[in-house]
């Protein structure tokens, strides 16, 4: 048997002995070669391009996936009153000849959408096979389980790609009156090309025939092995080593997506994925769950060179919540929702307050605790949705922690304008100065500060400094304490991480979504400016603290640049199978921010993915990416990640952690207070048994899946 390829709807080769031109049903014909597949492609000219169909230039990452079909084209018994497990006791007959098996055709087709041109519908057909060896056409009901990428007519089996995304889905057929069913995969692949100015076909051929490594080009950003979520603006690819007249071939491909670009990218070379006529990065991430390979080749006017290659991983979920960070230049705490083009300046400062800083945000996104004025820095609380100040204590504090529900604040990092200490932290309600309880560490161990609340509400992490003052110190250790908000007590106060000889400042802790891990900063001083710092992580039992080498830039940037990372904060929920950590860094950003002077280099926010099943003593981080949407001309620090303000019942949503009721259900998906019997990924749970997927885990009250 031969594969069938249809370009622009024209049947070129027959499959199973039938011509599947548009409108032909092909019923009544069977193949014995059940592993054959077919490819269908639609095409139109690309964005300024000349490629009419899928190019072979640059190769392919592999054969199209077969998805999860376990019974491709085979028969299963859906169960009837008289059927026994694993057998077919009910069937249609040709005389006294019952149908005992159902097959569907074509098997495992690949539909390619080229530059937005969706091919004509593909017709699936079903054939019954009788006990006597006869074949009969069957009617029944068709469905497809991935409506984002394709839809199928329930009555006649006509399948159409949407063109919105690539991917793999399962075609399922149930025969009328037989209790028999059959399945196969259908894969959609998007192929987008971009050629703003025509490139000589001879130069294109040279890319395919290149044999020499590039002696000059260096790919700077992104980093190899970076994990990207969905829902963000695409990365600006940056490299050095080219000349003004060089021509580049950029090729990005996953099993269900392909992008090709030919053209000039003058130095300093920076390339953004096109937004028109299609947003390429949105299509790439929507079409990819897993790895995508990037190749960049250069033609210098004489020869083409081998590609500089990277592999990225696309996590199959949008980032959620909001990142609240301090713009040092403006003295403001601003809010950036992942995917937005710019931060929001939303806090309504009280009269006489010019600076808001040293902030923390409740995990549920309802309330901000921050300090006003600078200097003695009295604490206050702010409604996160409106930016209106709830409370201005006028009591010196500096940094503070806030409970996950926003109801309580633990304050008192320092106690006066000289950044002094009284050796304790004080607990109050978010809108009151009344002291409810005090966290008093054992005497002789230093002064507590930089406190953080666990996402389950049961623990506090904090540093204990033994020199300097609350703003400037160099010697500190990491401690934990249990907190009980029913009885307003603190207990089990103990050190879990000692200081390091080279980087003796151990501070700025943050809890993972499951509250079982703490990431923190090791540095040579508490302040970031001009300092050396890196990210670490430890289990709450204090065993095997580990440096987050890949997050710090190991293998991607210089050793000096790896010591420019500070102030980590976790997103309170697991998304796409990962924990996400935002942190401040003074590293270079490709060839965009290149100042390395410790006194003038820019602070920017970066994000790293952490495996959601971290192993003790192992580096569970991945290379970080620059957070899109922040302003490049500002000094940005103290990124604090929280969920967005929850949505009410009936509002549109993507996952239950966006909703006040904890559930996001229906079509279209809206917030609800109940589910449909089990919790989908991102919906509320008490334990893993509440989740629909058997492999899901309940992490910080929401169902999540861990890759691998």
**pLDDT given at position 565:** 98
**pLDDT given at position 81:** 32
**pLDDT given at position 14:** 26
**pLDDT given at position 56:** 38
Give whole-number Cα distances, 440 to 196, 380, 462, 660, in Å: 66, 22, 12, 35
What is the tens place of the pLDDT at every residue in 194-216?
999 999 999 999 999 999 999 99
**pLDDT given at position 38:** 72
**pLDDT given at position 2:** 31
**pLDDT given at position 90:** 38
**pLDDT given at position 37:** 54
What is the tens place of the pLDDT at every residue in 580-615?
999 999 999 999 999 999 999 999 999 999 999 999
**pLDDT given at position 197:** 96
**pLDDT given at position 31:** 34
3-state secondary structure 333-402: EEEECCCCCCCECCCECCCCCCCEEEEEECCCCCEEEEEECCCCCEEEEEECCCCEEEEEEEEECCCCEE
CA-based nearest residue to 638, from 322, 328, 228: 328
Residue numbers of the chain with a pLDDT score lower than 50: 1-36, 45-94
**pLDDT given at position 570:** 98
Residue whose structure tokens are 């947003």 = 279
On the CB side of 619, CA atoms within 13 Å amount to: 13
Query: Tokens at residue 264, please?
Result: 């000039």
Q: What element of type H or E holds 138? A: none
**pLDDT given at position 447:** 97
On the CB side of 549, CA atoms within 13 Å amount to: 8
Partners of 192 in the β-ladder: 259
Q: CA–CA separation, 655 vs 673, rounded Å?
A: 13
Q: CA–CA separation, 672 vs 92, rounded Å?
A: 44
């Amino acid at each position: 048997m031969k594969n069938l390829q249809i370009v622009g709807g024209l049947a070129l080769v027959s499959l199973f002995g039938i011509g599947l031109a548009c409108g032909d049903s092909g019923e009544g014909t069977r193949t014995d070669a059940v592993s054959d597949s077919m490819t269908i492609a639609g095409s139109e000219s690309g964005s300024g391009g000349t490629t009419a169909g899928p190019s072979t230039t640059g190769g392919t990452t592999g054969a199209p996936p077969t998805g999860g079909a376990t019974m491709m084209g085979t028969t299963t018994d859906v169960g009837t009153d008289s059927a026994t497990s694993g057998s077919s006791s009910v069937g249609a007959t040709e005389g006294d000849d019952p149908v005992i098996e159902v097959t569907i055709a074509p098997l495992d087709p690949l539909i390619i959408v080229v530059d937005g041109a969706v091919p004509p519908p593909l017709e699936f057909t079903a054939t019954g096979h009788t006990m006597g060896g006869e074949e009969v056409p069957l009617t029944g009901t068709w469905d497809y389980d991935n409506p984002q990428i394709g839809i199928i007519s329930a009555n006649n089996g006509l399948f159409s790609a949407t063109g919105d995304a690539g991917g793999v889905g399962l075609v399922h057929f149930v025969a009328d009156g037989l209790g028999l069913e059959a399945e196969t995969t259908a894969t959609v692949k998007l192929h987008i090309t971009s050629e703003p100015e025509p490139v000589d076909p001879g130069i294109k051929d040279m890319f395919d025939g290149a044999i020499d490594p590039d002696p000059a080009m260096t790919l700077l950003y992104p980093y190899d092995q970076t994990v990207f979520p969905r829902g963000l603006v695409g990365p600006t690819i940056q490299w050095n080593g080219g000349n003004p007249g060089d021509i580049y071939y950029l090729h990005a491909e996953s099993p269900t997506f392909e992008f090709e670009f030919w053209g000039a990218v003058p130095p300093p070379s920076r390339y953004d994925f096109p937004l028109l006529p299609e947003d390429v990065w949105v299509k790439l991430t929507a079409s990819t769950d897993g790895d995508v390979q990037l190749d960049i080749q250069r033609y210098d006017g004489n020869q083409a060179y081998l590609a500089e290659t990277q592999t990225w991983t696309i996590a199959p979920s949008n980032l959620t919540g909001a990142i609240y960070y301090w713009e040092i230049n403006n003295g403001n705490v601003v809010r950036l929702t992942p995917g937005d083009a710019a931060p929001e300046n939303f806090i309504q400062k009280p009269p006489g307050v010019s600076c808001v800083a040293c902030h923390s945000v409740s995990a549920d996104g309802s309330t901000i605790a921050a300090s006003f004025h600078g200097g003695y820095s009295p604490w206050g609380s702010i409604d996160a949705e409106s930016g209106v100040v709830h409370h201005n204590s006028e009591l010196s504090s500096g940094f503070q922690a806030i409970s996950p529900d926003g109801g309580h604040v633990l304050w008192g990092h320092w106690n006066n304008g000289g950044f002094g200490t009284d050796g304790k932290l004080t607990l109050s309600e978010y809108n009151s100065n009344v002291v409810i309880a005090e966290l008093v560490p054992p005497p002789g161990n230093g002064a507590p500060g930089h406190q953080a609340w666990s996402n389950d509400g049961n623990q506090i992490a904090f540093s204990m400094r033994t020199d300097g003052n609350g703003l400037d110190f160099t010697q500190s250790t990491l401690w934990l304490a249990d907190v009980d908000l029913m009885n307003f007590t603190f207990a089990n106060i103990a050190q879990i991480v000692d200081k390091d000889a080279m980087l003796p400042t151990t501070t700025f802790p943050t809890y993972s979504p499951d509250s079982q891990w703490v990431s923190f900063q090791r540095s040579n001083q508490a302040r970031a400016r001009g300092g050396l710092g890196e990210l670490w992580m430890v289990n709450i039992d204090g065993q095997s603290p580990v440096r987050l080498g890949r997050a710090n830039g190991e293998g991607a940037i210089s050793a000096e640049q790896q010591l420019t990372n500070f102030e980590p904060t976790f997103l309170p929920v697991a998304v796409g199978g990962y924990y996400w950590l935002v942190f401040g860094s003074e590293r270079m950003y490709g060839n965009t921010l290149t100042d390395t002077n410790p006194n003038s280099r820019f602070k920017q926010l970066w994000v790293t993915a952490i495996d959601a099943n971290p192993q003790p003593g192992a580096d569970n981080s991945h290379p970080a990416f620059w957070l899109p949407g922040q302003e490049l001309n500002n000094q940005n620090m103290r990124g604090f990640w929280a969920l967005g303000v929850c949505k009410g019942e009936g509002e549109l949503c993507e996952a239950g952690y966006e909703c006040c009721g904890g559930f996001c259900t229906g079509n279209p998906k809206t917030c609800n207070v109940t589910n449909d019997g089990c919790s989908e990924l991102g919906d509320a749970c008490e334990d893993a048994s509440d989740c629909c997927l058997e492999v899901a885990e309940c992490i910080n009250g929401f169902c999540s899946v861990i890759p691998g």
